[in-house]
Each structure stands twice: as C-alpha cells, then as structure tokens.
Amino acid sequence: MLLIDAEGVNRGVVQIQDALRLAEEAGLDLVEVADNARPPVCRIMDHGKIVYQARKKKAPSKSQTSLKEISFSMKISAHDIETKMKQAKQFLEKGHKLKFNLILRGRERAYVDTNGAAQLRRLVDWVADCAVVEQMNMSMVGNRLSAILAPKKSAVAGSPAAAGAAKPASGASQPAKPASAPSQPAKQN
C-alpha cells in the first residue's frame, strides 16, 4: 500500500505491518483514504479528530434563537409606538426573543420609579397577547430600563391561534390599548 505519514510526506509503497507499526509509534490511526487506487492509499492521522471536526461543521450553531432589541424613549409618539409594536409582534411570531429598552435621558432619570416603570409596563402590555415576560428589570442599568420577552407557544407563526390574532381590526386608525394597561394620571393645576 502507498503510505502518507502524519506530516503529509509520501513514504512510498510499504507493507501493511510496517504501516501499522509506524501509526502505532506515532500514537495515531492508519486510515485508508483511497481504496480504489492501485496500490491503495493509506494515511497516518488522528481519525477521531477528523470525525469530530466533520460533526462540528455539520451541526447547526446553538445561537439559532436570536434576541431582537427594540429601543424606546420617554418622548416617543403614539404612531412610533404602533410601528415598533408591529415589528415586535412580527419578531415574536417568528419565534425570536425580544428585549425592550426604555432609554431615559437627562431629567427623565429622576422619574424612573413612576413614569419610566409605567411606560415600560405599557409597552409590555401592548404585546401581552403574543409574549410572556421572562425578565423585567425595573432598576436602571446605565441609562435604561429593560424587559425581555419570549413568544407564547400559540403566537409562533404557523399555529392556528396566531392566524386570527395577528390581524388588527380594519378601519381603526389607532389600535386599542389593552385593558390592563395603566392610564396616564390627569394633570392637576
């Protein structure tokens, strides 16, 4: 048989016993790489390593579930919220996790416990029909509050429950807020 050693050097035609002895001395395996050739070609290599690399290349990466982030500010308009909520629902229907970031700037940071927390709760309530809250961080991390949401099983695309819930009522210029959303307190002079 024609032998190629671990460094890739052609050793020429050798007897099978000599090839096995060289492979054993190197602590590697003797692998037949071309059995149809005359003489057959064998190589000294670590077969387990090659199998592992092939399996690793074939296996999908574990980062298939992605985390999509959507950022809001306290001064966001109602139309912008609607647009971002439509995008958020699309992400959830596709099975992605979602992170809402409420960015507080300047003086807004003084009202984290009242206005900031209420705004974040309202944002989470907008997608409550198709998401569950995994983590809701009501303490400031830098200049932001955050909530991580995961899709409900019934909200993932392709499920029968998602088909009826995904379409908003026609003729409505602004989607109705959920009943559980806290309302803005009236200003008193």
Domain count, the chain: 2
Q: Is the dihedral of CA 171, 173, 178, 179 positive or negative?
A: negative
Residue 175 lies inside a defined structural domain of this protein: no
pLDDT in tens, 82-100: 898 898 888 888 888 888 8
Full residue range of the structural domain in which residue 88 is found:
67-165
33 with 86, same domain: the answer is no
What percentage of residues in the chain have a pLDDT greater than 70? 77
Token pair, residue 29, equals 């395996």
H-only helix segments in 28-175: 47-58, 78-93, 117-126, 160-165
29 with 71, same domain: the answer is no
Q: Which residues contact 174 (CB under 8 A, 6 or more apart)?
A: 78, 82
What percentage of residues in the chain have a pLDDT greater than 90? 6
133 with 156, same domain: the answer is yes
120 with 154, same domain: the answer is yes
40 with 128, same domain: the answer is no
pTM passes above 0.95: no
pLDDT in tens, 143-182: 888 888 888 876 565 554 444 444 444 444 444 444 444 4
Read off the CATH number of the domain in which 93 is found.
3.30.110.10
Contact 43, 31 (CB under 8 A): yes
79 with 151, same domain: the answer is yes
DSSP 79: H
**Hey, how many other C-beta atoms are within 10 angstroms of the C-beta on 51?**
10
